[in-house]
Structure 1
Amino acid sequence: MKALVLAGGHGTRLRPITNTSAKQLVPIANKPVLFYGLEALRDAGVREAGVIVGDTAAEVRAAVGDGSRFGLHVTYIPQHAPLGLAHCVLIARDFLGDDDFVVYLGDNFIVDGIAEFVGDFRRSRPDAGILLTKVPDPSGFGVAELDPAGRVVGVAEKPEHPVSDLAIVGVYLFTPRVHEAVRALTPSARGELEITDALRLLIDQGADVRSHVISGYWKDTGRVEDMLECNRMVLETAEHRLAGRVCGDTKVIGRVVVEEGAEVSRSHLVGPLVIGAGARVRDSYVGPFTSIGADCRLSDTEIEYSIVMERSVIRGVRRIQDSLVGKDVTVAPAEYAPKAHRLVLGDHSRVHLDR
């Protein structure tokens, strides 16, 4: 079985972070979200992965390499524009050959992995399989309708009136039968080849399309709130480890990870949290559910429930929370009077200031 991993797209909901960075490489607990998916595929027994890349191809290639660090052999497949999930299957036809395959959206996060789902598919080998989860408002997702036996009898993309509360998670399994369905598709109203249309065509042809409802945690990490929540979930499982230098004048409470080469002094750390390799933290409070990236610099600052990406500097700030700070960012108070906010903001930025 092969994998088709989607690592293209524009990541519009994570702008301005994704103006200069791939959304799949935004870190959760200091590890890119894409890496969790690649590890899940490896743990499910997959060894060959085709990675769909777009405008951020160079960055994805640099991060993933040949895939050997994940136990995978990776082939990169360029997509000139984000034209839909089924379009990804279409352009990957030569790579996929006549093998069964799993489609995995690179910005999805599934705590328990997909090994059980893949194992069930291999044993029973239906024509297609989809992963589902119950959500309070399914209208923003692909939605599945099941018969009493759990087989899929209908699918709809972001329906105005959903027939169920079962959202389609960004993981799909197919036999080669899907290729004929994909070739028969025409673009949807939004100009894309929809994977739900391919599934609907298979159902109309009498194909065996089955489902697996997950009970564990799943997130599409397309929004800042989702990234922060995933960060919280992963940090909840962190094991206390102080590989870096934590000076005696620092108070440490709870599960705290300080990576090798990091240094913390005259500070207060309340876990779960992680401080990346080479980071420097002094005279600061770092609170729960916070990830500080490699080579960051924090001084005279309070921060919690936030993600700070590598090489960023935060000094003299009270107080940061519920925030996602990109790479090579500097956050500091203005150095002149009168008191004012001095901002340099990119397109699609969001700023919340105290009155």
Structure 2
Amino acid sequence: MKALVLAGGIGSRLRPITHTFAKQLLPIANKPVLFYGLESIRDAGIREVGIVVGDTTAKEIEAAVGDGSEFGLEVTYIFQQEPRGLAHAVIISRDYLGDDDFVMYLGDNFVIGGISDFVDRFRREGPQAQVMLTKVTDPQAFGVAELGEDGAIVGVEEKPQHPTGDLVLIGVYAFDSTVHQAVLEIKPSRRNELEITDAIQWLIDHGHRVDPMVTSGYWRDAGSVHDILAVNRFVLEGIEPAVAGEVDAVSELIGHVVVEEGAVVADSKIVGPVVLGAGSVVRGSFVGPFTSIDRDCVVIDSEIEHSIVLRGAHIESVARLEQSLIGRETRVVATQDVSKTHRFILGDHNNVQVGR
């Protein structure tokens, strides 16, 4: 069995940060969201992984993942010239997949508990397809599955205006080779994409077995700032405190705080859960709960909480930052009194001046 990981999306809901950064590499508790998916695939006993990449993601993702050996995987990269839908990704991956069964996993997905049970059930039951479902409050934003009285899937529809229920597909699928015929039979949707939901419906209409697996566990499509911050909060809630860096005598660490090797905390208060990356410096500052600060960052005379700070960012003399996503090598520096609280969504290499 193989895995097909889709990592070619441009991340339009996360702009401007995704103009210069692959959304699949945005850090959750200082680890790229894509890595959580790759680890789940490995833990499910799958070793061969094809990663679909596009123009805006290929170089960064290949540099981050390499040949996959760091994860115990054998990774092959499959180039998609333009994002034309999930079913199109299956079409261009046919040579790699051959006739093997495979799991398809969206690279910006975060599924707590992994996919081992999902994969085991598919192997054990042997349907032509299996989809992971969960209940949501806004089903019109997703692919919606309709179940019959016997619990089987009788229909699926992508982003319907009038959903038939609240069970939605969350970006984890398993297929046998029958899907390769299905993706060639469907037509582009109103979005001009080849939808995997249409391919699944084709399988149903032609008498093939499509099984649901409903999960009540934590899941997020980490495709927006709100979702990224929510996933970061969820992961940080489970961290164990560890101090490998330097913390001076006047600083205070409260709760679950990770200070990685090479990081420095001076004259500051950190209230966890918080992760401070290697080589970063926090001086004369307050870092509040649910904050992850990546490698080589600087926070001086500032307050920040419930935020994600990417590698190399510099924050100085800022009265308060909350619910912010700060891009790589970005500078946020105060100038004069204007406001007490700020919220930012900043791309890489910005220089922002705010009131103090």
TM-score range (shorter-chain normalised) is over 0.9
Q: Which residue of 1 aligns with 2:306?
A: 305
Partner-residue secondary structure (3-state), 2:40: helix
Q: Which residue of 1 aligns with 2:166?
A: 165
Q: Which residue of 2 aligns with 1:183?
A: 184
Offset at residue 149 of structure 1 (A): 2.7
Q: Which residue of 2 aligns with 1:86?
A: 87
Check conservation: 2:25, 2:32, Cα contact below 8 A. Answer: yes
Distance 1:8 1:326 in 2: 20
Distance 1:289 1:217 in 2: 17
Q: Which residue of 2 aligns with 1:217?
A: 218
Q: Which residue of 1 aligns with 2:40?
A: 40
Give CA-to-partner distance per residue, 1:159-197, whole Å, 9 cap, x none.
111111001111110000000011112211111110000
Check conservation: 2:292, 2:307, Cα contact below 8 A. Answer: yes
Check conservation: 2:302, 2:317, Cα contact below 8 A. Answer: yes
Distance 2:347 2:124 in 1: 50
Partner-residue secondary structure (3-state), 1:328: coil
1:152 partner letter: I
Distance 2:42 2:84 in 1: 27
Q: Is the aligned partner of 1:247 residue 2:248?
A: yes
Q: Which residue of 2 aligns with 1:105?
A: 106
Q: Which residue of 1 aligns with 2:333?
A: 332
Give CA-to-partner distance per residue, 1:73-109, whole Å, 9 cap, x none.
0000000000000000000000001100000000000
Partner-residue secondary structure (3-state), 1:192: coil
Partner-residue secondary structure (3-state), 1:237: coil
Check conservation: 2:18, 2:347, Cα contact below 8 A. Answer: no
Distance 2:9 2:257 in 1: 34
Offset at residue 148 of structure 1 (A): 2.6
Give CA-to-partner distance per residue, 1:15-40, whole Å, 9 cap, x none.
01100010000000000000000000
Offset at residue 231 of structure 1 (A): 0.2
Distance 1:194 1:302 in 2: 45
User: Does the C-alpha gap of structure 1 residues 141 and 315 become closer, same or farther in structure 2, counting only changes over 3 Å?
Assistant: same
Distance 1:35 1:346 in 2: 21
Offset at residue 150 of structure 1 (A): 2.1
2:228 partner letter: M
Distance 2:217 2:10 in 1: 28
Offset at residue 339 of structure 1 (A): 6.6
Alignment of 1:60-139 (within 5 A): 60-139=61-140
Offset at residue 11 of structure 1 (A): 0.3
User: Does the C-alpha gap of structure 1 residues 26 and 346 become closer, same or farther in structure 2, counting only changes over 3 Å?
Assistant: closer
**Any runs of at least 4 consecutive aligned residues in structure 1 with deviations exceeding 6 A, and if so which?**
337-341
Check conservation: 2:311, 2:327, Cα contact below 8 A. Answer: yes
Distance 1:300 1:170 in 2: 42
Check conservation: 2:20, 2:347, Cα contact below 8 A. Answer: no
Check conservation: 2:327, 2:347, Cα contact below 8 A. Answer: no
Q: Which residue of 1 aligns with 2:263?
A: 262
Offset at residue 216 of structure 1 (A): 0.6
Check conservation: 2:328, 2:347, Cα contact below 8 A. Answer: no
Matched positions, count: 348
TM-score (normalizing by structure 1): 0.95
Distance 1:112 1:325 in 2: 28
Q: Which residue of 2 aligns with 1:10?
A: 10
User: Does the C-alpha gap of structure 1 residues 248 and 29 become closer, same or farther in structure 2, counting only changes over 3 Å?
Assistant: same
User: Does the C-alpha gap of structure 1 residues 107 and 346 become closer, same or farther in structure 2, counting only changes over 3 Å?
Assistant: closer
* Identity score, percent: 60
User: Does the C-alpha gap of structure 1 residues 27 and 184 become closer, same or farther in structure 2, counting only changes over 3 Å?
Assistant: same
Check conservation: 2:265, 2:281, Cα contact below 8 A. Answer: yes
**Unaligned 5+ runs, structure 1:** none
User: Which moves more between the two structures, 125-134 or 147-156?
Assistant: 147-156
Check conservation: 2:302, 2:320, Cα contact below 8 A. Answer: yes
User: Root-mean-square deviation (CA), in Å?
Assistant: 2.0
2:52 partner letter: I
Q: Which residue of 2 aligns with 1:51?
A: 51
Partner-residue secondary structure (3-state), 1:332: strand
Distance 2:314 2:126 in 1: 52
**Unaligned 5+ runs, structure 2:** none
2:14 partner letter: L
Q: Which residue of 2 aligns with 1:228?
A: 229
